[in-house]
Amino acid sequence: MSFKDLTAPESFIVEWQYRMLGDFKSALIQAIAQADHINTHKLSLGFPDEVEGYRRYTQEDGWWQEVQKKAGMK
């Protein structure tokens, strides 16, 4: 697995999916996943990379598969 070519949003999602996040980031991803539109926007003001990564992971077809390839996981 290689993180050197990943963007910050991609790295965050890889760490989440492979259970590599610490306590704070684990709580953050739970908050992002449960937030409504208004609170997701508020979270994005402080954590833009993390929110972008989650949005792309959940809304863009094929995005996660491409990230896995880029990181050398597939």
Domain residues for the domain of 31 are 8-70
Report if residue 60 sits inside a domain: yes
Report if residue 3 sits inside a domain: no
Report if residue 42 sits inside a domain: yes
- Which amino acid is it at 9? P
Q: Which tens digits make up the pLDDT trace of 28-41?
A: 999 999 999 999 99
Number of domains observed in the structure of the chain:
1
Report if residue 40 sits inside a domain: yes
Rounded average pLDDT over 52-71: 96
Report if residue 2 sits inside a domain: no
Report if residue 57 sits inside a domain: yes
The pTM is what? 0.91
DSSP H helical ranges for the chain: 8-17, 23-34, 37-46, 48-59, 63-70
Report if residue 1 sits inside a domain: no
